Structure 1
């Protein structure tokens, strides 16, 4: 007797539903996506009992013709694709034809619909008793009502005992769908809170204001970056605006909300020290690319995607974030921090002693190289807006240094505070990148090899990176039982820091195994630029500061250090007057 048997249709549907319909939020997602695919311009979502008692979605889309109603609740029946080629190029939100069938297998489902080509509507009801088709009084469009979710799968229903979590999932799903479709009017009613009503908007920022309030437009920076047919656009936080968790980083690929794990790390790296530890940026980002470049059919709920060329996508994301953050917000004080409206002007300014009384041991910026007048950061192609925007102000009059850290300067535009450390970091960083762009030999032969005190179990791990380390300027020799020795190091290292720099280089490589040598060098350059920069309290003079500002003015991206912190903050005339409750 055969022990293998074919499963019946009802059991197959239940198994499929376990992958597609795992929560009330998944029901809302599938039904709203169907409405969007039907061309709806108005969608009404109503939820009772946190989605377990009833979920209702009403739209004004094209509707379902009466002859197709029964097929609509049959698994793997769809009007959206008909071949493998269609699947690979699917542009619609849904395409598998399994959502309604899966929903029907774990709930009591009613669909009422009228096609715009028909005079009368029809309905189908699916429950444990079977299917019933009947006429329906409904305007053009579709209403789907899902009742008693998981009534026949009690374990799954009992799993959702955390009411707050279920409501959060529902609201997050509503936000993800609504933000991506600003041209569609939405209404969301969970029978507990005030209904959320969103009118149609011409742009995403208008929809964001409807959800997060009018002020969100001030708290975010617009982003747009396109390379070879792949475009990223949206909004990311200004530097004072951050969240306590990563869930406010939202990402859509071809309008489909997805989870992309590298995204948060890329954003955090781009913000650097501008983002406090344990905090996360706010972001609403939309990636658009040809359908053949992304596989959306790798996850049952389509929450994840796979890119044909992920390195290319990662590079685009990284470049877009760094460019926007380095250019965004200008150098006005109000763009960096929230300043209380009643903040008193308490910081006094003191003048530096005359030049002839300066300390004879003044710091003379030993890492500076005289750069060509027109040098720019290696590989950097500044956007038109960056080229047009003023960078380091001209005609600055230097006055003093306060807190042993900030240079005080003025001109006709206002008061400027220059962070000596971050400014010097930027200068050093672009110097290192300039060397790389000029393809100078970064390795400097050591007169005497430097023995490395690396434990035997770690030697193989470091030797495995030998080729990549060589590109970064580190040449290793394996001395067998005697250990490892450095025979060459990057020429910009100071004596005594060879071992620490090597360990830092290895850590950088291990953090991103896929990165190319230029990215690895960039990370090391950022670390070393910081180490070589002037520190708080180091002796310096106004002449030194003038030289520093002159060198900073020559940089391609002078307003931020390599880690993203500002180099200059401006407090303009209007701001200063406002502290004293006066008008200019």
Structure 2
């Protein structure tokens, strides 16, 4: 008895749809890419209920004949490749001939299309089968309607996320497609409301403004460079504008959005020593290359590709980005401003000099002791503090404090120590219902349109971490009240970091968010490396550190100190 059989075509299409159609945003991507290949100059996307109820993509492309329309929903039917050579020199967005077949197998699918000066054709499909064909009145172009997505695959339907999350993913893919093709006019509607629009005037800065806001767009720098194999160009942000994640680095190869960690890392490496740790730029990187050195046929989504001579390309990207940033006046202005503010002498390897009384380290550490926060200082009578008194003897590289006791010495990371001290203080402050201060000038934070949509359902969480926020215009929020103890930090960076934490963690744990807020606040308000300390300052850090409940690690888990006994030192020098 035979046990192997050929799958029913409808079942095979549903299996294939599992790779091509993961969620509503996958449908939008495939349909819009078809419109781009059809030479459309205007693409309109309509979404109802996050794509569950309706996804409609309308374009003014070249359209299809009746015969091509019928073939288009057949699996592996395509107009884009015909030979082996075509497969290895892809110049279109699509080529596999799977998208329409897969989409029509898991939805109620309607296609209306018309070539120029011809009669239009309307197809209605169920389970990849055409159930009705009729003429329709339509100007040149194509309209595809996808209704009740996953109606016949309940398991897939069950795991769709909230409508707002699904629409955010659709908005994100629309952003990427619009940046890939600034010559095309895009418009995106959600529940009859216009959410995103571009003019199609080939103006990348205009699209960046629509996505990230005007301030970011105004601070983008153009770069361009060409070698024998590659041409790269695009825009990258000045060092004064950055994010806490790398999701705003967009990479395109021959007009196709791709995901490639190596190329993204090359952009980040171009900012080496120019951005703070864990801060990332806004970048749009366009790469043009001969299609024969690219392999797009790796995954049905076509976002993963292989590139010959990738090492050379990564080097080119890194060097071009770095040259662009170092040549701009913005860098010099910030450096000059920083130099005027600090005027810090370079620290010797060991600093044993007696400091003048007025020379204290340039954080708000001492100021904090003089503020109202002193009444919340943790009690400083822990047993181990009296048993092991450490006397500071100097600094190493303006970053590490060296202190000795009767039985040895310790080396303290002054930033990690200050973080621990402030963390435990802010923990106590956070539990108290302290008064807020009104900001003289409310802080307006512009978000990318996709981040804004993601934040909306969770905006109240900012209130839980003592930040009063309200909606303000398109894709922006306004901060009006903050706790008084936030006046010592860069408030904008702090709030942006909290927002990214909320967006990235879909299932928000309020206690974890509060702990993250306290740890972040402690980090941003703390003493930095290469700060010139007096002996009084060093003594105070040591005293306050050992007053903490956990003096041995910072809130992020890094050690605050290393301890060496006199016996270990004598053994190392072979004195015992």
Mapped partners of 2:274, 2:360: distance in 1? 20
| Contact 1:225–1:231 (Cα < 8 Å) also in 2 | yes
Map 1:525-564 to 2 at 5 A: none
Mapped partners of 2:114, 2:150: distance in 1? 28
Map 1:256-267 to 2 at 5 A: 256-267=256-267
Q: 1:117 to 1:274 in 2, by over 3 A?
A: same
Runs of at least 5 residues in structure 2 that lack an aligned partner in the other structure: 350-358, 363-396, 398-529, 534-576
Map 1:20-169 to 2 at 5 A: 20-118=20-118, 120-128=119-127, 130-169=130-169
Q: 2:225: which partner in 1?
A: 225
| Contact 1:180–1:204 (Cα < 8 Å) also in 2 | no
| Contact 2:296–2:304 (Cα < 8 Å) also in 1 | yes
Mapped partners of 1:77, 1:239: distance in 2? 48
Greater CA drift, 322-331 or 75-84: 322-331
Mapped partners of 2:213, 2:341: distance in 1? 35
Q: CA RMSD in A?
A: 3.1
TM-fit CA distance, 1:132: 1.3
Mapped partners of 1:536, 1:159: distance in 2? 52
| Contact 2:266–2:315 (Cα < 8 Å) also in 1 | no
TM-fit CA distance, 1:335: 8.7
| Contact 1:293–1:308 (Cα < 8 Å) also in 2 | yes
Q: 1:147 to 1:348 in 2, by over 3 A?
A: closer
TM-fit CA distance, 1:319: 1.9
Mapped partners of 2:281, 2:252: distance in 1? 16
Q: 2:391: which partner in 1?
A: none
| Contact 2:252–2:258 (Cα < 8 Å) also in 1 | yes
Q: 2:310: which partner in 1?
A: 310
Runs of at least 5 residues in structure 1 that lack an aligned partner in the other structure: 340-345, 353-361, 364-401, 406-421, 423-534, 539-584
Map 1:344-363 to 2 at 5 A: none
Map 1:243-322 to 2 at 5 A: 243-322=243-322
Q: 1:487: which partner in 2?
A: none
| 3-state SS of 2:208 partner | helix
TM-fit CA distance, 1:404: 11
Mapped partners of 2:232, 2:216: distance in 1? 20
TM-fit CA distance, 1:537: 6.7
| Post-superposition CA distance 1:3-43 (Å, at most 9, x none) | 11111111111111111111111111111111111111111
| Contact 1:268–1:275 (Cα < 8 Å) also in 2 | no
| Contact 2:49–2:163 (Cα < 8 Å) also in 1 | no
Mapped partners of 2:25, 2:336: distance in 1? 37
Q: 1:71 to 1:51 in 2, by over 3 A?
A: same
Mapped partners of 2:230, 2:342: distance in 1? 51
| 3-state SS of 1:211 partner | helix
Mapped partners of 1:252, 1:246: distance in 2? 15
| Contact 1:122–1:134 (Cα < 8 Å) also in 2 | yes
Mapped partners of 1:536, 1:28: distance in 2? 52
TM-fit CA distance, 1:215: 3.2
Mapped partners of 2:310, 2:263: distance in 1? 12
Mapped partners of 2:136, 2:210: distance in 1? 34
Mapped partners of 2:150, 2:79: distance in 1? 27
| 3-state SS of 1:241 partner | coil
TM-fit CA distance, 1:201: 1.5
| 3-state SS of 1:236 partner | strand
Q: 1:366: which partner in 2?
A: none
| 3-state SS of 2:267 partner | helix
Q: 1:163 to 1:266 in 2, by over 3 A?
A: same
Mapped partners of 1:326, 1:332: distance in 2? 8
| Post-superposition CA distance 1:358-402 (Å, at most 9, x none) | xxxx99xxxxxxxxxxxxxxxxxxxxxxxxxxxxxxxxxxxxxx9
Mapped partners of 2:130, 2:532: distance in 1? 81
| Contact 2:251–2:264 (Cα < 8 Å) also in 1 | no
TM-fit CA distance, 1:274: 2.5
TM-fit CA distance, 1:142: 0.5
Output the TM-score relative to the length of structure 1.
0.57
Map 1:186-265 to 2 at 5 A: 186-191=186-191, 194-265=194-265
Q: 2:410: which partner in 1?
A: none
| Contact 2:184–2:202 (Cα < 8 Å) also in 1 | no
Q: 1:580: which partner in 2?
A: none
Q: 1:310 to 1:106 in 2, by over 3 A?
A: same
Q: 1:374: which partner in 2?
A: none
Greater CA drift, 189-198 or 88-97: 189-198
Q: 1:348 to 1:52 in 2, by over 3 A?
A: closer
Q: 1:147 to 1:51 in 2, by over 3 A?
A: same
| Contact 1:225–1:232 (Cα < 8 Å) also in 2 | yes
Mapped partners of 1:300, 1:347: distance in 2? 54
TM-fit CA distance, 1:2: 1.4
Mapped partners of 2:130, 2:330: distance in 1? 64
Output the TM-score relative to the length of structure 2.
0.57
Mapped partners of 1:161, 1:261: distance in 2? 26
TM-fit CA distance, 1:208: 2.0
| Contact 1:329–1:335 (Cα < 8 Å) also in 2 | no
Q: 1:348 to 1:330 in 2, by over 3 A?
A: closer
Q: 1:319 to 1:52 in 2, by over 3 A?
A: same
| Post-superposition CA distance 1:496-548 (Å, at most 9, x none) | xxxxxxxxxxxxxxxxxxxxxxxxxxxxxxxxxxxxxxx8779xxxxxxxxxx
TM-fit CA distance, 1:133: 0.7
Paired residue total: 356
| Contact 2:325–2:331 (Cα < 8 Å) also in 1 | no
| Post-superposition CA distance 1:59-83 (Å, at most 9, x none) | 0010011121110111111111101
| Post-superposition CA distance 1:122-172 (Å, at most 9, x none) | 111101474311111111110000011111111111111344432221111
